[in-house]
Amino acid sequence: MFETTTSKRRVSALAAAMLCALLPAATGLGAADDAFVTVDRFVPHTSTVPANEGERVGLFLHEKLSTELADRIAAGERPDGRVVLFVHGGSIPSVPDYDLPYKDYSWMEHLAASGFDTFSMDQTGYGLSPRPMMDDPCNMAPEDRAVVTPNPLAGDCEPSYRHGLTTSQSDWDEIGRVVDYIRELRGVEKVSLVGWSAGGPRTGGFAARHPDKIDKLVLFAPGYRRQGPSDPPAAIPAGDIPMRLQTRDTLENGRWRSTVACDGQIDPGIQRIIWQTVMAYDQRGAVWGPPHGVMRVRTSAGSWGWNREYAGKVQAPTLILVGEQDRLLGPDEQLHEDLTGTDARVLVTMACATHFAVWETTQYRFMHEASREWLEHGTFRGHSTGRFSVGRNGAESTEP
């Protein structure tokens, strides 16, 4: 299993060294905290990503649980119904998404404090998992190559690999490998999944194909195409590139602040911590381009199998959370309607919330608590079905 660290409040050696240099003492990173145990591992996997198919790789897996639960597990207890795997979205790896070292924003820590054994994984192309073809700065579009010229590129160049990087199937294969690893590690039959944005098709698509392994689903701002293809393309299309770049300005202002509608929606200190944490998990991106680095983002060589047909195959109780100001994906009434294979499905639309609500003052605590109730009981404020809207900080739950 290539376990790299077993410690209280620590991350992998690489990320820890970078984070300690980047993050202020106020975050508490590295401080003694006997309430939680953090373990980082690399799960062995035979890649099905076209760029490195057949290669033996290690998938980064981050775990956080309470010291109390760790002691009970060590004594032989099996945490049935209380094991959760978080899967990140399309541009940001798992730790910044779900275990951000800032105040009480860590979603994993909230659930761990409630007795859950929480895990988050990096898929190929993200964080500390493999990034095949992504170390070559030529393997991007011309506009992205310009961002990293003259650092590290001295001049323009042509891509050495002209395909998208991963596929829906390679993502599901990686989730399947990690799910099976966790099931064996903890001696449980089922694992619950949490997915954000592009993590929605990954977790939802996997749950549709493996209902026997999934307990419950929580989908935050999930991508969904009701009329999307069910089957993979006949061949991987050529002419694409394996990665693109996201700059700090694009993330913070272009994608996020431009969609904010309410006063005080973003904590003044959080964006800097988010970016620094992302850079701690991208050692090359951190030194490419401008002084604050760039975020390397993988591309897709093909997406399929998350549509009306497969949404209807999901059997796990499913909670969908979307922000009212989400301009990237928007409210997902169609997905809620198409989850016909489960009797427990709830859609909650959150006021004063964007695609990045998990990092916003207005709803992050509500999201933590709503997910906890769903994962424990399969209910949202006592309801197992329906559509609801909530005001700022989760107030005034009503049916739309």
| Residue 248 included in any domain | no
| Residue 281 included in any domain | no
CATH assignment of the domain containing 348: 3.40.50.1820
Of 190, 154, 4, which Cα lies nearest the Cα of 79? 190
pLDDT value at residue 329: 57
| Residue 308 included in any domain | yes
Report pTM. Answer: 0.92
pLDDT value at residue 3: 53
- pLDDT tens digits, 226-268: 999 999 988 877 788 999 999 999 999 999 999 999 999 999 9
When pLDDT is cut at 50, 70 and 90, the band that residue 13 belongs to is: very low
CA distance 274 to 268: 12
Total count of domains within the chain: 1
- pLDDT tens digits, 80-113: 999 999 999 999 999 999 999 999 999 999 999 9
CA distance 400 to 52: 47
User: Taking the mean position of all CA atoms in its chain, how far away is CA 167?
Assistant: 16
| Residue 71 included in any domain | yes
| Residue 76 included in any domain | yes
Mean pLDDT, the chain, whole residue set: 91
- pLDDT tens digits, 114-126: 999 999 999 999 9
Of 328, 396, 387, which Cα lies nearest the Cα of 357? 328
In this model, does residue 16 exceed pLDDT 70?
no
User: Taking the mean position of all CA atoms in its chain, how far away is CA 256?
Assistant: 17
| Residue 399 included in any domain | no
Phi, psi of 122 (to 5 degrees): -100, 125
| Residue 338 included in any domain | yes
Q: What is the dihedral of CA 176, 319, 263, 295, to 10 degrees?
A: 10
- Any idea how long the chain is? 400
Tokens for 176, please give them.
């399947």
Going from the C-alpha of 5 to that of each of 163, 185, 238, the distances in angstroms are 35, 16, 40
pLDDT value at residue 333: 86
Print the domain residue range for 75: 3-136+165-240+303-394
Q: CB of 299 within 8 A of CB of 139?
A: no
Of 155, 168, 124, which Cα lies nearest the Cα of 297? 124
3-state secondary structure at position 193: strand
Of 251, 237, 156, 235, which Cα lies nearest the Cα of 197? 251
CB atoms within 10 A of CB 252: 17
Q: CB of 244 within 8 A of CB of 285?
A: no
Of all residues in the chain, the percent with pLDDT exceeding 70 is 89
| Residue 262 included in any domain | no
